[in-house]
Structures are given as C-alpha cells and as structure tokens.
Amino acid sequence: MKFYKVVLAAFLGTLIALLIAFFIKIGVITSLISSMSNTEATATKVKPHSILHMKLDYPISDRTSENQFGAIDFTSMEKRDLSGMNDILRNIENAASDPNIDGIYLNLSSVPTSSATLQEIRDKLLFFKESGKFIVSYGELYSQSAYYLASVSDKIFMNPDGMVDIHGMASQIIFYKHLMEKLGVEMQIIRGPNNKFKSAVEPYFLDKMSDANREQMNQLIGSVWGQILASISQSRNISVEQLNRIADSLGTYFDAKKAVEYGLVDQLYYKDQVIDELKQMTASDDKLNLIGNSNYKKSYTIDESGSQQVAIIYASGTIIDGKAPEGTIGSETLSKTIRKAREDEKVKAIVLRVNSPGGSALASSVIGREVELASAQKPVIVSMGNYAASGGYWISACSDYIFANANTLTGSIGVFGTIPNLKTLLNEKIGLTFDVAKTNANADFGSINKPLTEFQLAKLQQSVVRTYNDFTSMVARNRNLRQSYVDSIGQGRVWSGSDALQRGLVDKLGGLEDAIAYAAEKAGITDSYTVVEMPKQKDFMTSLMEEITGRREDEVQSTIQKELGIYYPYYQGLKSVSEATGIQARMPFDIIIE
C-alpha cells in the first residue's frame, strides 16, 4: 500500500507541476501578447532629429509576418525586429520625406539574405540618398553581403579590430553518391532528353559537377559577382579591377587599416565614437533618437480601403500539391488567392511576387492555369525575388509582364523524376524482406523496396518528356517565342536576371515597386490607387493555438538554421533528398553572398 501511495503521490505531483507550468506559460504568452497588442494599437511618435536604425542580421523575407510569436525570442523573452522587405522598403521611402528623420544608421555585420533581396534594399537606399539625408554604416566586421549594402553610405565606419571580408563568390554543391552507396540506396532518376543543365539530380549519381553544370555555375556566379562589384565600384569610386585584386589577395582580411587604405572604409571607430559622430550629425547633445524598423512602421498608416486597388500576391517557398502552410506554395492555396483577386472588382491589377525554386510540376501547372485566367481579365505582372526558377518560372511565364532583379535566379526550364530504391538498405543493412500478392502486373508500382522495371521506367520517362514539352510549349506561347528556342535556353539551365533579360525570359530589370507602378499603369489607375497584400495572414487566435499545441514548422526551421549556422545548407541538402520524389520542376540551389 505504501508503494502505491508513493506512486500516486508522485503522479499527482507531476501532474500538478505540469498544469502549473502550462498555466504559467499561458500567462507569460498572454502578458506578452497584451503588451505587444497595446504597443501595436498606439502609433509611434517620431521625435525631431531621429535616425532610422536598421539592423538586418536575419534572413529577410518578402513580407513581414503578422505572427507575433515568431518575433519572440523565448530564451530571452524579448521581441526581435524581423521586418520583411515590404516594410523595409516602405520605411526607407517614408523616411526620405519625413521631416523628423535626419538619416539612416545601418548597423551591419552579416546579412544572411540572398543577393536579389539585398539589391532591392540597396536600390531603395540609393533613392533615399536623393533626399539629401545621410546614411551611415557601422560594423564590427563586414561580410560581403553587409558591405554590399554599406557601400551606399556617405560614411562607413568599422571597429579597429574588424575586417572587410571580400573574397569573391563560390558555389559549393553537396554530392550524395558515395553516401547512398554506403547506405544501400539507389535513387532512380528519370530525366528528359534535353535536360543537360538540370543539375538537381546530379548529386545522386555523380561525385562532382558535370561539365554542363560547371559551365552554367561559372556564368551564373560571374554575372552576379560582376553586378555586385560594379555597384560597389560606382559607390566607392574603386575600380572593379582593384576590387578583384583585393578579393584575390584577401587584402582586407584581418587587416582593418588596409580597408581604410583601399578606400573601402572611411574611419576605424569604436561604437561609442560612432554614436558621438551621429550626435554631431543630428545636432544632438543628449541621447540619440534611434527608431527601428518595426517601431517606425507604426508611425504612419497604410491605406488599403480604396476602390481602385493593386493586389500583391506573395508566392514564396517550394511549390507543393494541395493546401500548404506558410512558407510554402500550395497549388490549392495560391490558386484560391489568385481567384479571389481576379473576382474582386476593386482589384484592378495583380502583382505576383514570386520567390520560389519550384517544386511539383503538377502544382505549378495548376497555379499557371489560374494565372492565365486572371491575366485574361486584368493585368497580371510578376515581380521576381531571389529566385523564380523551374516551377517558379512556370507560374511566372503565364503572366503579362515579368520584372526581375539583375541578381534574380530564374529559368531552370526543365523537369525530372526520382523514386528511391531501398532494396539493399532494407534487405542487407537492416534485415527486412518483403513479399507481395497482387492482382495486376504493376499493382505495386512505386514501391521503394525494389527497383523499377524497364516498362515502369519507360512510362515515367514518357511522363517526364511530356511534362517538359508542356513546359516549353507554355513558355513559348506566353512569351511569344519559338518552342525550339525555349528548349535551347531551357534544358534546366539557370540564368541570372540580367542574362534572362537578354534571352527574352523576363521583360525588364526592376524590383517590386517597379512592378506595382507598371501594373497600375497598365490598369489605367496611375492617379490614385491603394496597394493590398494577399493572402491574408493568420489571425491572433490561430497563432496562439499553434504556439500552445506546438511550434510552427517555419519557427522550427528558423531554430535549426540558427543552431547549425554555416552548416545549415548541408541539412537543407539532405532534407531535399527525402522530399524529391515524383516529377519535379525544381531549382537545386540558391546564391547567398557570404
């Protein structure tokens, strides 16, 4: 009896402790939300001689998330500023005409964001400079991404013990061939006859780049690097040749004085000296009035109530079939949003913001059809972000007009199919065997415990060839090109935005705001219109229930990325191995300026 009493007491004690912890968590979350809600409800008042303070040390999404939990660091219980590119661009534009904002302070070290997003923010900072207000940058050190942004500044300061990390760009691909052999896994790959540049499947059967892939990668990173150097050269009055010599020699690596000597940095300052400099520039004898992105956004209003609207529809992430969570593109989810904008009489034009490496070919086709239907009723303009490749290009090509940044990764017109064969792994490594009873010859088609038959491989090959033909035919029809020409620049090849422009895959170089202005012009509403963002983001209660029942997938990914740091791409690569089954229209890589 004593034993059962002890067990019962322990059980009740644990249960009570768990309940107390649960209610404490609810109380903390409720308190945080209440605090933030009150803050959100109160407009921020910008003091005279304020400085817009930008610290962009996080992966910048196209759109600021309205999920308030995502901005909370639960280890420190502090709210982080994770403003998306939409709010960053609006803030910079508003600050240019705000009489209470004297300038912008870029507090930079590393900006872990793809090159096209960086270019769009940088172009907006150049617009800000036309107002005559200052931009000042400070970094304890500057990664290439951070320096690319900082180079627009009137003054660039750096810690005396810091460095400017300019070393050039490289593309490193992970190959799984030998790992698969060790595990006893065979990735059965089906490619079309004209997909020599479709390198997404190469890591499964090669241990180094093919000549075709090396050719496209050299041209791609050469194009992006050339654009970056040209921008820095123009802003800092340093020749491209000199910048390349600095990169080749690692001339400013661990040598802050060299960064000043070469003209990359204006002065070596500690943080307190930078603050003193900013005080002088704002004629402030007391505390600096610094205001961050998330707070500055609350100092002005955005009108979305007009009768003439341009709708921005965000299409970000991998393309999958059916409904999809935030951070991915579901064929059903995105089609519903496009349909809603098409049927809304107040929406006079649509801007489809595509930031996707592709994914399911079927889902891409479903979305493409909805884009074509919308295009038949009102202007549909695409704004390409960091990448709009493969399936991302599929849905883009169905529009009326395409804007891309010079550093956008696009094209990758090609398809492939993969089905893993785990027979050796299951039989010999683990010791599992299988037997089957079936009614028809191919009733067990798609089973992963045995290889495909020649007949099944042939059927899949026919499907891949047909899908590729549908892809090139659709591009040729919508882009007014010959299908044979589309095939010649397709074959899975990825192009930079500037190279894609020369080949007729995009219409003009420009960012999201250029696409919005063009959409309004095509709709004949250039005088007065409002911009609305779609789809509608999740409300407070939905986010609350997701936090209580378990962390959202995108938050888990964010945590994994933070913990793995520079090793995160290896995790992503391994994850893609498990996901790449069926017929795919997917780009295998992204370019981030380290």
Residues 150-159: tens digit of each pLDDT: 999 999 999 9
CB 486 within 8 A of CB 479: yes
For 583, the enclosing helix (H) or strand (E) is strand 582-586
| 406: its two tokens | 């010079």
Residues 369 and 495 both lie in one domain = yes
Q: Band of the pLDDT at 137, cuts 50, 70, 90?
A: very high
Q: Taking residues 138-157, report their average pLDDT.
A: 96
Indicate if 87 and 1 belong to the same structural domain: no
Indicate if 377 and 326 belong to the same structural domain.
yes
DSSP three-state, residue 530: strand
List all residues 6 or more positions away from 556 whose beta carbon is below 8 Å from its beta carbon. Answer: none
pLDDT band at 301; cut points 50, 70, 90: confident
Percent of the chain beyond pLDDT 90?
A: 66
Helix, strand, or coil (residue 421):
strand
Report the first-to-last Cα separation within the chain, whole angstroms.
66
Any domain includes 464: no
In this prediction, residue 507 has a pLDDT band, given cuts at 50, 70 and 90, of very high
CA 488 to chain centre: 28
Interstrand relation of 101-107 and 50-54 (parallel, antiparallel or unpaired): parallel
390 catalytic per annotation: yes
Contact 290, 107 (CB under 8 A): no
Q: For the ranges 15-29, 52-66, 144-158, 456-470, which has the lowest average pLDDT?
A: 15-29
**Strand, helix or coil for residue 313:** strand
Residues 1 and 100 in one domain: no
Q: How many domains does the chain have?
A: 3
* CATH number of the domain encompassing residue 78: 3.90.226.10
- Measure the CA–CA gap between 419 and 41, rounded to whole angstroms: 52
Identify the pLDDT of residue 325: 81
Q: Pick the more confident residue, 283 or 78.
A: 283
User: Does the annotation mark 538 as catalytic?
Assistant: no
Do 2 and 81 belong together in one domain? no
The per-residue pLDDT of the chain, averaged, comes to: 87
Q: Is 491 found in the same domain as 571?
A: yes
d(CA 263, CA 171): 28
Select from 511, 498, 329, 478 the least CA-distant residue to 410. Answer: 498
Alpha-carbon gap, residue 229 to 231, rounded angstroms:
5
Same domain, 403 and 544: yes
Measured CA to CA, the distance from residue 450 to residue 422 in angstroms comes to 7
> Do 468 and 475 form a contact (C-beta atoms < 8 A)?
no
Which residue among the candidates 110, 294, 365, 390 is catalytic per the annotation?
390
* Nearest-angstrom CA–CA distance, 554 and 353: 20
What average pLDDT score do residues 105-134 get? Answer: 95
More confident residue, 284 or 62: 62
Higher pLDDT, 513 or 546: 513
Tell which wins on pLDDT, 194 or 54.
54
Distance CA 472, CA 390 (A): 11
C-alpha angle with apex 35: 45 to 533, nearest 5 degrees? 70
Residue 387 sits at φ, ψ, to 5 deg, of -150, 145
Across the range 201-207, mean pLDDT stands at: 89
Q: Please give the model's pTM, rounded to 2 decimal places.
A: 0.86
In which band, very low, low, confident or very high, does the pLDDT at 367 lie, cut at 50, 70 and 90? Answer: very high
Q: Does 393 share its domain with 340?
A: yes
Contact 337, 533 (CB under 8 A): no
Q: Note down the domain range covering 25.
A: 1-41
Q: Measured between alpha carbons, how far is 285 from 287 in angstroms, rounded to an integer?
A: 7
Residue 155's pLDDT is 98
Residue 371: pLDDT over 80? yes
Among 253, 271, 297, the domain-final residue is 297
In which band, very low, low, confident or very high, does the pLDDT at 199 lie, cut at 50, 70 and 90?
A: confident
Does residue 195 fall inside a structural domain? Answer: no
Among 133, 198, 348, 423, which one carries the catalytic annotation? 198
Tell me the pLDDT band of 476, cut-offs 50, 70 and 90.
Answer: very high
Comparing 217-226, 444-453, 496-505, 547-556, the range with the smallest average pLDDT is: 547-556
| Domain-embedded: residue 196 | no
| Encoded tokens for 209 | 């780049």
The answer as to whether 67 is a domain residue is yes
- DSSP state, 592? B
pLDDT (0 to 100) of residue 254: 86
For 423-453, where are the alpha helices, taking DSSP H only?
423-424
